[in-house]
Amino acid sequence: MDLEGKTALITGGATGIGRAVALKFAQSGANIVINYSKSQAEAEDTLHEVEKKGVKGILCRADVARDDEVRRMVDEALGAFGHIDVLVNNAGHTAFVPLVDLEGMTEEIWDRILAVNVKGVFFTSRACSKELIRNRGSIVNITSIAGFTGTGSCLAYAASKAAAINITRSFARVLAPHVRVNNVAPGVAVTRWVEGQEAHVTNFAKGTLLCRAATAEDVADAVWALVSADSFITGQTLVVDGGFSINFMS
């Protein structure tokens, strides 16, 4: 897909992986819709960097776990650009609760993680679906290898990413043949999510074949590869973990 003049909506686009994806797509000529829920200052900074690349961008504040806010966001995007060609479901939520701490996984933590990471993917994909069909667009969901391994920051996070991986497959069926739907599953990526969790990052890096954790740009490159190629790939998972899962599964 040639992204010149296209519109990409990126949830959780203010920081980390979302920011890296926004800048990558802007570099290729796409107009950018940056969704955020709390990080307004960071969103404004990302918008500034996007516009420096010679494209247009807008900010849309919305909680992706709320269907009404998602639909308003999509309306704002269409009002600004007239079309949506790419959706990157990157917004996510987690909490660092050891897997063995079953009582520490409170209902409140569980519900919020599942709401953002599962309902958010569904609500946003549904709200964009007619527009993406019309434009023969593409969806990429940012999931995680936790959806395969059952490990990660907490039990609810792993469960939510397993669900998101399967939502990807379902939407690939529902929106075929007009829209390709795939997901990128990183291992640990060095973003503000893991600030204060240095031991977690170090342990992960030791388990990879490439001896490091991912950067946000590593993940953005994978998203770009899935979107930019007019490929025969849909319903699939591209793992970006430096070979960690090979070691984990062996």
100 CB neighbour count, 10 Å cutoff? 7
In this predicted structure, what is the pLDDT of residue 249?
Answer: 62
In the structure, what pLDDT confidence band is assigned to residue 152 with cuts at 50, 70 and 90?
Answer: confident
- Structural domains of the chain sorted by starting position, each given as residue range(s) with its CATH number in brackets: 7-188+214-241 (3.40.50.720)
Active site residue 36: no
C-alpha 67, offset from chain centre: 18
In this predicted structure, what is the pLDDT of residue 248?
Answer: 64
What's the predicted TM-score (pTM) here? 0.94
In the structure, what pLDDT confidence band is assigned to residue 202 with cuts at 50, 70 and 90?
Answer: confident
Q: What is the mean pLDDT of the chain?
A: 94
Sheet holding 138-142, edge to edge: 57-61, 31-36, 7-10, 86-89, 138-142, 180-186, 237-240
Q: Write the pLDDT tens digit of every residue in 13-36.
A: 999 999 999 999 999 999 999 999
Q: Are 215 and 173 in contact (CB under 8 A)?
A: no
Cα(78)–Cα(191) distance, rounded to whole angstroms? Answer: 30
In the structure, what pLDDT confidence band is assigned to residue 193 with cuts at 50, 70 and 90?
Answer: low
**Residue 199: pLDDT over 90:** no
DSSP state of 52: T
Q: Write the pLDDT tens digit of every residue in 83-127.
A: 999 999 999 999 999 999 999 999 999 999 999 999 999 999 999
Of the listed 110, 157, 171, 204, which one is catalytic? 157
